[in-house]
Amino acid sequence: MSLKDLMPEGAYDEIVAEAHTDEEKLKQESATLMVTCPTCKKRIPYDRSNPFRPFCSERCKLIDLGAWASEERTIAGRQVNEDEDADLLQDPNLPVRNVPGTDE
């Protein structure tokens, strides 16, 4: 004897159908990743239906680009114009090359 035999007629099939419907809804809801627009903080789906992702619109995308261009936003790091090889120029162990226009 199974659970289906113990239930009223049609009840088992109704429960199974409802369970599958709930599973499909959960899959659809969880399949769509929701993110926050970095510019306006609006919640949007992160999927192919939004060509401006992770932004909500072209406007927010351009505002962000402008912030990077005007250096309002930066990535932490060393200065770009830092001369990493400056100490090597003073190294007495380096060979001297003949450079045109010098007396050496």
Domain chopping of the chain, boundaries: 33-71
Quote the pLDDT of residue 99: 64
Q: What is the pLDDT of residues 23-53, one digit of tens each?
A: 666 566 556 889 999 999 999 998 888 899 9
Residues 62 and 43 sit within 8 Å (Cβ to Cβ):
no
12 band by pLDDT with thresholds 50, 70 and 90:
confident
How many angstroms separate the CA atoms of 40 and 30, rounded?
24
DSSP 96: P
What is the mean predicted confidence (pLDDT) over 72-93? 73
pTM: 0.46
Quote the pLDDT of residue 23: 62
- The alpha carbon of 62 is separated from its chain's Cα centroid by a whole number of angstroms, namely 17
CATH architecture, range 33-71: 2-Layer Sandwich (3.30)
102 band by pLDDT with thresholds 50, 70 and 90:
low
